[in-house]
Amino acid sequence: MGRVKAIKAVKFLSLFVISATFFVVSGYWTSSIVIALPPPEDTPEEILRTKIIIEARSPIDGSFLTAAEYIQVQAQLQEAPPPKLDPKIREQIFLLRLRKTLLQFFPFLNF
């Protein structure tokens, strides 16, 4: 009889240790999941998608503009496009790009 009680006590003790370990570990895992969540003051992306944007940035210098100012700047850019590059500079850029491409295929050339 004493041996049966000892076996039952060992089984009960091992069940208690396993259960306690499970609860401690599961409590640790849930706290790490909570840490991984975004802060409550962070606005969800779904809400940000539906938000109407009433401010814009200037394509010229990046300053903040209202919607009306942005439309005016866009109209001015369509009427008078930015100046084009000098043909000599454009040709130099083309030759530099060509040289870079040739050096990738023929690295032993030194020009």
CA distance 59 to 70: 9
pLDDT for res 28: 64
pLDDT, tens digit only, all 111 positions of the chain: 678 888 888 888 888 888 888 877 776 665 555 567 777 888 888 888 887 777 788 888 888 888 888 888 888 888 876 678 888 999 999 999 999 999 998 888 776
CA distance 74 to 62: 13
The C-alpha atoms of residue 20 and residue 88 are separated, in whole angstroms, by: 80
Phi-psi region of 32 (alpha: psi -120 to 50; beta: other; left: phi over 0): alpha
At position 41, the amino acid (one-letter code) is E
H or E element that contains 66: strand 64-66
| pTM check: above 0.85 | no
Residues 48/41, Cβ–Cβ less than 8 Å: no
What pLDDT score does 92 carry?
Answer: 95
Phi and psi at residue 66, to the nearest 5°: -80, 175
In this prediction, residue 93 carries a pLDDT of 93
- pLDDT at residue 82, as a whole number: 66
Distance separating alpha carbons of residues 98 and 87, to the nearest angstrom: 16
Position 67 scores a pLDDT of 81
